A and B are shown apart, each in its own frame.
Chain A
Amino acid sequence: MNVPDNLRYAESHEWILIEGDTGTVGITDHAQAELTDIVFAEPPPVGKKVAAGDVAAVVESVKAASDIYSPVSGEVIGSNAAVEENPALLNTDPFGTGWIFKIRLSNPAEADTLKDPAAYRAQIGA
C-alpha cells in the first residue's frame, strides 16, 4: 500500500499535502482500495468553511456512500472538477489527479495533530 512520505494523514484515511498555509486533500490508497470502484464524487464548493473533522465531501462506490472529512479547519479554495467528471481517478491516482479539494488553513498548528506516514502505516498495518 502506497503511503507517501511527504503527506500527513487523518485516522479517517484522508491525506493532506501542506504547502505554507494551504493544503491539498484526498483519500489514501488504502481508502480507495477498501471503497473499491468509486462511481460518484462530490467535492466541496470553493468558499465553504469547514472545521477539522467536518464532512467536506462525499464519495460513493457501487455498494456504499462514504463521507470525506476535512483533516484541518479552514476555507475551501479549490475543488477538483476532474474527480466529479471522472470519479475513477480516486481509485487510479489517489495521491495525484484524484485530489479532492484545496483548503486555506485557519489554524496551521492543527497539522501537528495529524499522523505522520509511519503512524498511518502502523494504523493500516502496511
Chain B
Amino acid sequence: MRTPLFDAHLAAGGRMVDFAGWEMPVQYSGILDEHKAVRESAGVFDISHMGEFFVSGPGSTAWLDSLLTNNVAALADGCAQYSLMLNERGGVIDDLIVYRLGLENFLLVVNASMIGEDAAWMKARLVEGIEFENASAGFSALAVQGPSTGGVFEKLFGREMPVERNRILEIGEDFVVTTGYTGEAGFEWIMPVQEAASAWRRSLDAGAKPCGLGARDTLRLEMCYPLNGSDLSPTRTPLEAGLGFFVDLNKPDFVGKAALVAQKAAGIPTRLCALRVTEKAPPIRPHYPVWIGGEPVTETTSGALSPSLGEGIALAYLPAGFSKPGQEVEIEVRGRRFRACVRKKPLYQKET
C-alpha cells in the first residue's frame, strides 16, 4: 500500500522500504542527519499508515474503559492519553493514543500493522448504542517534531503551539495534537487524505526536514518508547514492559485486568530494561542474545547505535532479579560478547 505522499517521498529522495505492508521512506538525507534535525531543529514524518478509529454514542467512555488499560473516564475533553489494549492473558494486542473529542466522542490512533486486528477485536466486543468506525482509509497524518516545531506550527496555523502535551486542536476537519514519539516538542496532525500533499509541502516550506522510519526508530529507542511487535507482544504484559503508569488497576474491570492483578500479586517475572553498551562494540540490533553471568538469558527486542550518544543501546526483557540499573550484562554480536549495563530510562536526556 502507498500513502498519498508516496510521490512526494520519491521527490524528496526517500528510500522506500516495506513496513507493515506499506511502502514507506526509511530515510531521505540519512538517518544520522534526520535524527539530528529532530533533536536540534524540526523534522516531519509521514505517519499516514497509522490507523484512525472513531468511537461515539452514549456509553462510549465506559466501553473504552472496558477494553483499554488507562482511565478513559479521567481523560479531559480536548486531551489525549497513551493506552494499551490487552488480551485475556494480559498480553499486549496494541498500544494506542485515545483522543477525547467530546463527552462521548473519541478518536483512537493505532499501529499500522494492527489496524485489522484491533478493529476486529473491538467490533467483536461492541455493545448497543456505540458507533465504531474504522476511518483509517480516509485519514493521513504527519508528525512534526523537534525543538523548533513551535515556529513551524505558527507558520502553518497562524497561532501559538500549546505548551502543554497531549492537547487537541480541531482545525477545520483536522486534528492537531501535541503528541509524538521522539521525546521532543512537537505535534501530530491528522487530516483527510486529500489534504496530505499540501500539508506535507507546507510543513517543508515552514522549515521541517523530511524524516523517515529509520530516524523515527532511533529517536524513539533513545527515549525507550516501546514499538509494538518488537518490544510489546501478546505474551508480555504492560507491567513487564514497564508501562504500569498507563494501567489503572483501580478502575472497573477491563480485558486483561485479572491477569495483571494476578501477575502483580505473584511478582512480575521479567522487566523490559534499557541497555547501554559500555565498551567499543558493533551497533546492537534486535534479537541479539543477552548474557548474564556466563549464561544466555534473553535477547534484545530492539537495538541500534544511538546517534545522540554514539553508543549501542537496546531494550531486552531481563529476569526481575537482574533488572536494576547498574546490572552488568553482555550482548552477543556475531559470536562475540560485549559488555553492557542496565540503565535508567530514558537512555537519552536533553541537556537543559
Contacts and interface: CB of A to CB of B under 8 A. Distances in A.
Interface of A: 36-37, 39-40, 42, 58, 60-63, 65
Contact of A39 (B26, B33, B214, B283): B283
Scoring A37, A40, A42 by chain B CB atoms within 10 A of each residue's CB, the highest score goes to A37
Interface in B298-323: 304-305, 307
Contacts of A40: 282-283, 305
B310 to A, nearest CB: 9
Contacts of B282: 40, 42, 58, 60, 65
Contacts, number: 37
B350 interface: no
Interface in B254-293: 282-283, 285
Nearest to A39: B305
A85 B166 CA distance: 43
A60 B282 CA distance: 8
A36 B27 CA distance: 10
Nearest to A41: B282
Main secondary structure of the interface of B (DSSP, over half): mixed
Main secondary structure of the interface of A (DSSP, over half): strand
A36 B30 contact: yes
Contacts of A39: 32, 283, 305
A34 to B, nearest CB: 9
B31 A62 contact: yes
Given A36-B15, A62-B31, A65-B285, 13 more contacts: A37-B33, A39-B305, A40-B283, A58-B334, A61-B31, A62-B214, A63-B26, A63-B27, A63-B31, A63-B214, A65-B282, A65-B283, A65-B334
A62 B283 contact: yes
Scoring A36, A39, A61, A63 by chain B CB atoms within 10 A of each residue's CB, the highest score goes to A63
A112 B313 CA distance: 44
A100 B286 CA distance: 27
23 contacts: A36-B31, A37-B30, A37-B32, A37-B33, A39-B32, A39-B283, A39-B305, A40-B283, A40-B305, A58-B282, A60-B282, A60-B305, A61-B31, A62-B31, A62-B32, A62-B218, A62-B304, A62-B305, A62-B307, A63-B27, A65-B282, A65-B283, A65-B285
